[in-house]
Amino acid sequence: MFKRKVLTTLAACIACSLFANAQATEAPKIETKPVINKSMVKTDDNINQMVNIAGRQRMLSQKMAKEAMLIVNNVNAAENKINLKNTIKDFENALSALRYGGNVGDHTIAGTKSSRVQYQLRKGENVWNEYKTLLGDVIQSGTFNTAQMKQLDILNLKLLYEMDKATSYIAYNASKSQSGGTVTAVGLSGKQRMLSQKMSKDFLMISAQYDVEQTKASLEESLFLFERILYGLEEGDKYLGLIATKDKTILKQLKKVNGMWLTFKKALQNGINEEQVSKEQVEIIAEMNIPLLNEVHKMVEMFAST
């Protein structure tokens, strides 16, 4: 059984290489649908974009949990039901494209030919099917009982874990054909998207008085990791395998993200330091997290295009 403290995966694994999971024994061969013909793929379809899109699935796993918690907390519930439905469609479309090829936003990808990656994506899909059913329940009812809240806690982190492994496998394959530093920057900048949503979700779970002490610990770990990666992307971090960024456009974007992060971090720390989170504080996080996510996403796209 997945324990919550085990499934705060990325903070716990900060010492690990992005590619550590990928060095496991090759997964068994499985049948797959034919992938998209490479002649159909645009020039922007490269391995960095595969890492980018796979990594974005980690973010979506957390964004859906956050949107479910906003519904439960009755924060713009009708709007967030629509948002959650759209995020579900987005996740399913990207999962299909990673396996079989297709369009994800402005990018066309050929789908993976790696049996290892296909096997891992299928594992993620199995978790996803259960998670999707639970999310459908909150869209219908607008609330969770205690058992459903616990299930949300387990499944969102389990899906995050499986999609992070898939991203690691894809990144490992990429590292064999191009600069490991570039791939690492794409992978770790992509984790920032996920962390923006994971921290927001944890804040909302604290507001709902769910497993408060453990959730506060999870939030503190994510705060530390977000900041460590952010500074590492700019200045380099040997421990994380990051090389200092020299691209002036990316450096400008990093500074913009950092400015927004400092404000967001202060708001999040209220959830750690105060016994009870107010409705106003919840609304502040709800308002601030998407602008931060959007700017982080721009940063990831910049790294993926280099």
Q: What is the DSSP string of 200-262?
A: HHHHHHHHTTSSHHHHHHHHHHHHHHHHHHHHHHHH-BGGGTBPPP--HHHHHHHHHHHHHHH
Q: What percent of the chain has pLDDT over 90?
A: 73
d(CA 46, CA 182): 12
pLDDT tens column, 38-84: 433 433 346 788 899 999 999 999 999 999 999 999 999 999 999 99
Q: What is the pLDDT of residues 146-168, one digit of tens each?
A: 999 999 999 999 999 999 999 99
Question: What percentage of residues in the chain have a pLDDT greater than 70?
Answer: 83
Model pLDDT, residue 157: 97
Structure-token match 């329940």, residue found? 137
**How confident is the model at residue 28, as a pLDDT?**
40
What does the DSSP 8-state code read for residue 43?
Answer: T
Q: What is the pLDDT of residue 210?
A: 94
Under-50 pLDDT residues of the chain: 1-45
- Pair 234, 251: CB distance under 8 Å: yes
pLDDT of residue 306: 77
Fill in the amino acid letter for 267. A
Helices and strands (DSSP H and E) totals, the chain: 9, 2
How much is the pTM?
0.86
Please enumerate in sequence order all residues whose Cβ is within 8 A of that of 158, keeping only pairs 6 or more positions apart, or say none: 2, 7, 127, 131
